[in-house]
Amino acid sequence: MRVVIQRTAHASVTINGHCKAAIGQGMMILVGIEEADGQEDIDWLCKKIVNLRIFDDENGVMNRSILDAGGDILVISQFTLHASTKKGNRPSYIRAAKPEISIPLYERFCQDLSAALGKEIGTGEFGADMKVELLNDGPVTICIDTKNKE
């Protein structure tokens, strides 16, 4: 699994002109799933995300997790995170998992992340044409790939 985490002042996702989810301070997470991903990747990533210290403490130092800060999370599925641009100018998405694999993993990731956070998270809609808006706070942007844990 590959994620891009952005610390937000606020973020939202709109589908067909309707706001599906909106958050205030917290994280907007883009998640891409490949065929080799499984529950072990989900478990490791959920723990890493909720404990990632990217929120400022009282001294302005990034020393607090989202659990400490009491922030919200918005998760958006994004198969393009697994784009290969090695050949030509048209990205290849061959590494991205097919929907029959990625949809259950995406849904499980969202459920487990919500449980790890201790509250409901916002989500987009898998496969939908989404309009995502955010105000990146910092800016702080972190990329994590579960295949590069070591």
Among residues 6, 8, 78, 123, which one is catalytic? 78
pLDDT tens digits, 17-72: 999 999 999 999 999 999 999 999 999 999 999 999 999 999 999 999 999 999 99
Give me the DSSP letters along 9-42: EEEEEEETTEEEEEESSEEEEEEE-BTT--HHHH
**Mean pLDDT on 126-133:** 95
Contact 74, 23 (CB under 8 A): yes
User: What pLDDT score does 72 carry?
Assistant: 98
Which pLDDT score, from 0 to 100, does residue 60 have?
Answer: 94
State yes or no: is 14 an active-site residue: no
Report all structural domains of the chain as residue ranges with CATH numbers, in order of start. Answer: 2-148 (3.50.80.10)
What pLDDT does 95 receive? 86
Is 150 or 115 the better-scoring residue by pLDDT?
115
Taking the C-alpha atoms of residue 17 and residue 77, their distance in angstroms, rounded to an integer, is: 18
Among 79, 109, 123, 146, which one carries the catalytic annotation?
A: 79
Give 74-138 as a 3 state SS string: EEEECHHHHCECCCCCCCECCCECCHHHHHHHHHHHHHHHHHHHCCCCEECCCCCCEEEEEEEEE
**Predicted local distance difference test score (pLDDT) of residue 84:** 86
Distance CA 138, CA 55 (A): 10
Is 123 catalytic? The answer is no
- Coil vs helix vs strand at 149: coil
- What average pLDDT does range 119-138 have in this prediction? 96
Q: What is the mean pLDDT of the chain?
A: 95
pLDDT tens digit sequence for 70-90: 999 999 999 989 888 888 899
User: 118's torsion region: left (phi>0), alpha (psi -120 to 50) or beta?
Assistant: left
Q: pTM of this prediction? A: 0.94
Residue 149: phi and psi, rounded to 5, are -70, -30
109 is annotated as an active-site residue: no
